[in-house]
Amino acid sequence: MDIILKGGHVVDPASNLDSESDVLIKGDKIAQVGKNIKANGAKTIDCKGKLVFPGLIDMHVHLRQPGREDEETFVTGSRAALKGGFTSVLCMANTSPVIDNKGVVEYIYAEASKTGLINIYPAAAVTKGLEGKELTEIGQMAEAGAKALSDDGKPVMNAEILRRALEYAKMFGLPVISHCEDTNLSKNGAMNEGFISTKLGLKGIPRASEVVMVMRDIELAELTGAKLHIAHVSAKESVEAVREAKKRKIKVTCETCPHYFTLTEEAVFGFNTKAKVNPPLRSKEDLAAVKKGLSDGTIDAISTDHAPHSIEEKDVEFDFAANGMIGLEFALSLANTELVKDKVLDWSGLIKKISANPAGILDLKGKGSLAEGSDADVTVFDPAAEWVVDEKRIESKSKNTPLVGRKMGGTVLVTIVGGKIKYENGKFE
């Protein structure tokens, strides 16, 4: 059945649209966007007073399938995505087995299609087993549909190997997503290095462990002319390095995550393992620099680095707790309160970073836009609704977030994927 979204405020930076319009969906495509569209027989969704976006795209999630289905599956991860307004995600390769060969890439697509809730695209590993030693069969994985290359979770410490990966990836137009961390500098680190790590007696991770690798990778991007994307930027100097690189016309893009513009290292007080993440939550100055990078265009994308972990991996001594937090269900609300209400970005600027730009970086055809003929992936958002994060109502299979109890601004009302309503007013299809 056709669907018409009536009277919402449509924000579609890809087609320069930021005004009240109707959106008509026919089949799995956007048929028309404009005022007073007549659509007899179409299912009508009243969007008056609400915002209508191209479906959000999260280019950095860990869905834990295959291997850790106790923490997340395509089904639970997809439901979390839908609740958060995401219609497409890029899942990272650090699964078990690692997405480092064509077979696993094909498995991801097969499982995703069986799940049938959102678009799930695999990132493929840069090196076999994420060991940083030998290149994977990048060509075959590209043919099978891998959308990016990343050893995320680990850096490629050997610069020569990353150089060759960048060069080789160029042939397939694939971006290399770099997890920037000098593991010699960050070894045994548990949180950001600074006064709070000193107070708590936890080993610090200096910002330099991220920054030196950002700088190294930028030079390698220049050397090779390949597409480099820096994952989860958290440090002030990393933002500055990317800003300089862009001035030098180097092909580099980067992302940050909601926790880096929402929380600081103070969240660790009391040895709160739910605030343990890599890169670690940083200082107020870093948070301000991340916001500045978002507003001036240095940071291209907002991804969640959704990282589900079981209770057993978090409810332990801080030093032994796993890194990461879930993020799919909270990203848009946090962006609303921390970025839009705070005038860091307007809606159009935000949607660029959380839909249009990720589609561009990953070259997802037909995504990230509501232009006629685009894939009918749409998110309807009520920026005024308020809710409180309640552990029992988290859709993700894992509940590891420091946000429980926090008041959130704005809620996703409807998420449409491929022309089908997958989530509406708290209910899944």
Partner 1 sequence: MAVKWTKKDLLGLEGLSADEIGLILETADSFKEISQRPIKKVPTLRGQTVVLFFFEPSTRTRTSFELAAKRMSADIVNIQTNASSLTKGETLKDTAKNIEAMKVNIIIMRHSASGAPQLLAESVSPSIINAGDGSHEHPTQGLLDMFTIKEHKKKIAGLNVSIIGDIAHSRVARSNIWGLTKLGAKVTVCGPATLMPPEIEKLGVKVTYDIKEAIEGADVINMLRIQLERQGQSLFPSIREYAMKFGLDAEKMKYAKKDVLIMHPGPINRGVEITPEVADGPYSVILEQVTNGIAVRMAVLYLVSGVKERIE
Binding of residue 202 to partner 1 (CB under 8 A)? yes
3-state percent helix, strand, coil for the chain, nearest multiple of 5:
35, 25, 40
Is 205 or 416 the residue whose CB approaches partner 1 more closely?
Answer: 205
Report the C-alpha gap between 114 and 337 in whole angstroms: 35
Using CB under 8 A as the binding rule, the residues of this chain from 227 to 286 that contact partner 1 are 270-271
- Looking at 43, 46, 183, 195, which residue binds partner 1 (CB under 8 A)? 195
DSSP letter at 306 equals B
By CB under 8 A, what part of segment 26-55 binds partner 1?
none
List 134, 171, 173, 199, residue binding partner 1 (CB under 8 A):
199
Nearer to partner 1, 12 or 265 (CB): 265
Q: Which residue, 130 or 321, has its beta carbon nearer to partner 1?
A: 321
54 CB burial (10 A radius; 0-12, 13-18, 19+): buried
- Please state the closest distance from residue 264 (CB atom) to partner 1, in A: 15
User: What angle do the packed helices 159-170 and 207-224 form, to 10 degrees?
Assistant: 40
**Are residues 17 and 370 in contact, defined by beta-carbon separation less than 8 angstroms?**
yes
Beta carbon of residue 207, minimum distance to partner 1 (angstroms, whole number): 11
Q: Which of 183, 198, 296, 391 binds partner 1 (CB under 8 A)?
A: 198
The footprint of partner 1 on residues 288-327 (CB under 8 A) is: 312, 315-320
Q: Which is nearer to partner 1, 172 or 269 (CB)?
A: 269
12 among known catalytic residues:
no
For residue 279, say if its preceding peptide bond is cis, omega within 30 degrees of 0: yes
Catalytic residue, chosen from 300, 305, 375, 377, is: 305
| Minimum CB–partner distance for residue 193 and partner 1 (Å) | 6
Nearest CA among 116, 111, 101, 102 for reference residue 66 = 111
**In the complex, what is the shortest distance from the CB of residue 322 to partner 1, in angstroms, rounded to a whole number?**
11
Establish how many alpha carbons lie within 13 A of residue 113's alpha carbon, considering only the half-sphere containing its beta carbon: 5
Beta bridge partners of 176: 149, 228
CB of 131 to partner 1, least distance (A): 23
| Residue pointed to by tokens 């880096």 | 260
Q: Which is nearer to partner 1, 113 or 198 (CB)?
A: 198
Gap between the Cα atoms of 325 and 309, Å rounded: 7
CB-based contacts of 247, cutoff 8 Å, min separation 6: none
Give contact residues for partner 1 (rule: CB under 8 A): 193-195, 197-204, 270-271, 312, 315-320
Show which residues are catalytic. Answer: 305
